[in-house]
Amino acid sequence: MEQLVITDVRARAVVAPLRRPIRTASGSIEASPLVLLDVETEQGVTGRAYLFAYTPVALSPLLALAAQLGPMLRGQSVVPLVLQERFERQFRLLGLQGLLGMVVSGLDMAFWDALGKAAGRPVAALLGGEPRPVRAYDSWGLVDPAKDAAALVRSLELGFRGIKIKLGGGSLEQDLATVREVRSIVGDGTALMVDYNQSLTPAEATRRARALEPFGLEWLEEPVAAEDLRGHAQVRARAAVPIQTGENWWFPRDAERALTAGACDRMMPDLMKIGGITGWLSVMGLARAASMPVSSHLFIEASAHVLAVTPTCDWLEHMDFGSAVLAHPCRLVDGCVTAQGPGLGIAWDEAAVARHEVAGGRVPGLPAPSRP
């Protein structure tokens, strides 16, 4: 296969509609702010990936960062490990985290997509495996069991084998009532996960985790601040519900720190923060050595590839932020998602992109940044 050489990086911002708004203890996500990345090459192959910005406020600075990194990549061969090492050297003093880490991770995903497309093979095959069905759970926000009962049943009818709901919007008594009612709706045969989105102190998290033990939860996710590894370890040691964390780890060293601290029973790296596919491979090795189950966070399309080759593969999170602008969204079949190809199987629906694009990342209604 001819070596791919980068000619340009293109980034566009869109705010795409969501099938279901996501309500959390720290706020609500009503639409999907995305940055679409295209890595173009001399050979005519374009690698694609997208970033989830969480808030439209981050779109403009993400576009600016992508524009600054593009010239660094022109003329470079598409060798993901080499390019990531170059970024690490270039930004040693600043560090790869935050918005910069997101862009670097997204570019890494686009590099792998380009390599797969050039080879005419799915990325999972480039990684030594093959696409295979990975069980998925439907990821919800805060729920009202009375109002959402029919929709929860619909999730089961679609084939989902697990349901995750968010807690922490009220008291322990409200949490218990919600979990009790959701468990009665989905039944004992469905995996039920809960996510506190970092909203509790270690003491309160321990209190609530103990109270939730009778419901047979699959896991309790990010009960305390993501960076509070000691706090996670304390909750884990004092309650029987498995602790899940990892979506806010920045690159593989954060995963190693969490494992060393005994902060979790399960891990769920986020491809946009862990260093893309290259970063995931390092964490995958750590997880295998620790016999640690690995699930994904967001990014269904790329996650289906890396989970397919992860020895301790657990669950794929189905929170669909990208399908509104994709030509071929991933499909759920028998409760599972199978990776698509070639590459990551990502192609833009350009008509949809045009409908939802926001020029320069500036969203109408948001205040313009002040000038110095």
- Fold for 6-121+350-361, please state it: Enolase-like; domain 1 (3.30.390)
The pLDDT of residue 372 is: 30
Q: Would you kindly state where each structural domain of the chain is located, as residue ranges?
A: 6-121+350-361, 124-337
The pLDDT of residue 360 is: 77
- Fold for 124-337, please state it: TIM Barrel (3.20.20)
pLDDT in tens, 296-349: 999 999 999 999 999 999 999 999 899 999 999 999 999 999 999 999 999 999
For the question of residue 232 being annotated catalytic, the response is: no
**Residue 88 pLDDT class (50, 70, 90 cuts):** very high
What own/partner pairs with CB < 8 Å and gap ≥ 24 does 346-354 have?
346/48, 346/49, 346/50, 346/113, 346/301, 346/302, 347/48, 348/36, 348/48, 349/325, 352/16, 352/324, 352/325, 353/12, 353/14, 353/36, 353/325
**Measured on CA atoms in the order 128, 129, 135, 139, is the torsion positive or negative?**
positive
Segment 273-282 shows an average pLDDT of 98
With 0.75 as the threshold, say if the pTM is over it.
yes
Residue tagged active-site, from 166, 273, 305, 318:
166
**pLDDT of 152 over the 80 cut:** yes
The pLDDT of residue 365 is: 60
Residue tagged active-site, from 164, 297, 318, 356:
297
Segment 28-46 shows an average pLDDT of 94
On whether the CB atoms of residues 132 and 308 are closer than 8 A, the answer is yes
Q: Same CATH fold, 124-337 and 6-121+350-361?
A: no
The Cβ-side half-sphere exposure at 113, using a 13 Å CA radius, reads 27
**Residue 364 pLDDT class (50, 70, 90 cuts):** low
**pLDDT of 135 over the 70 cut:** yes
**pLDDT of 1 over the 70 cut:** no
